[in-house]
């Protein structure tokens, strides 16, 4: 088997970080770039992305496969079937401290089309030069951290994850 025939490490890393979160009492969240291959409630998609709680307490029938992540979850009290291609996962992290891993965009991960508008009808940004940064918050330093430095001009950057409390 050569390098072109090997399977992606992404599903294995997702499973490993999910297990790490669970073992340490954290809540695993995944950030997903939404397109037509992703089955999620579209009313919760914001700027072409959705963040999903994939903890065992929030999901039913959770399957972390090599090709898809699938589970049942409640959104606004309504049970929904969720199916996410592993290649659309852009990060997995612990809600409590932000520790986790962001993944580079897949080759097929273009900016979302205008049909995946955020609530309110505005089309999502197609700017792919946003910064991805997972920040560990230590106790007592949550609101006192200075903002991250701006990336140098002319250098490529990645999408940003924003932790909302």
Q: Give, as one character, the DSSP assignment of residue 49.
A: E
The residue extents of the domains of the chain are: 1-108+128-165
Q: Which residues contact 118 (CB under 8 A, 6 or more apart)?
A: 45, 46, 47, 48, 124
Cα–Cα nearest to 88, from 71, 109, 70: 109
Cα–Cα nearest to 90, from 147, 131, 44: 131
Residues 41-68 pLDDT 10s: 999 999 999 999 999 999 999 999 999 9
At residue 38 the predicted structure's pLDDT band, cuts being 50, 70 and 90, is: very high
- Return the CATH class of domain 1-108+128-165: mainly beta
Residues 83-126 pLDDT 10s: 999 999 999 999 999 999 999 877 665 555 555 444 444 444 44
Q: Which residues contact 3 (CB under 8 A, 6 or more apart)?
A: none
Cα–Cα distance, 84 to 18 (Å, whole number): 15
Question: What is the average pLDDT score of the chain?
Answer: 79
Cα–Cα distance, 111 to 159 (Å, whole number): 11
């Amino acid at each position: 088997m050569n390098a072109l025939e090997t399977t992606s490490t992404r599903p294995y890393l997702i499973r490993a970080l999910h297990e790490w979160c669970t073992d340490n009492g954290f809540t695993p969240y995944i950030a997903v770039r939404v397109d037509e291959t992703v089955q999620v409630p579209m009313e919760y998609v914001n700027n072409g992305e959705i963040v999903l709680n994939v903890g065992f307490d929030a999901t039913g029938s959770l399957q972390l496969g090599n090709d898809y992540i699938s589970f049942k979850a409640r959104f606004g009290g309504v049970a929904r079937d969720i199916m996410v291609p592993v290649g659309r996962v852009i990060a997995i992290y612990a809600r409590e401290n932000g520790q986790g891993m962001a993944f580079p965009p897949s080759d097929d991960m273009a900016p979302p089309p205008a049909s995946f508008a955020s609530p309110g009808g505005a089309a999502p940004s197609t700017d792919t030069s946003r910064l991805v940064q997972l920040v560990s918050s230590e106790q007592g330093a949550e609101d006192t951290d200075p903002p991250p430095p701006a990336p140098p001009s002319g250098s490529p950057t990645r999408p940003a994850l924003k932790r909302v409390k």
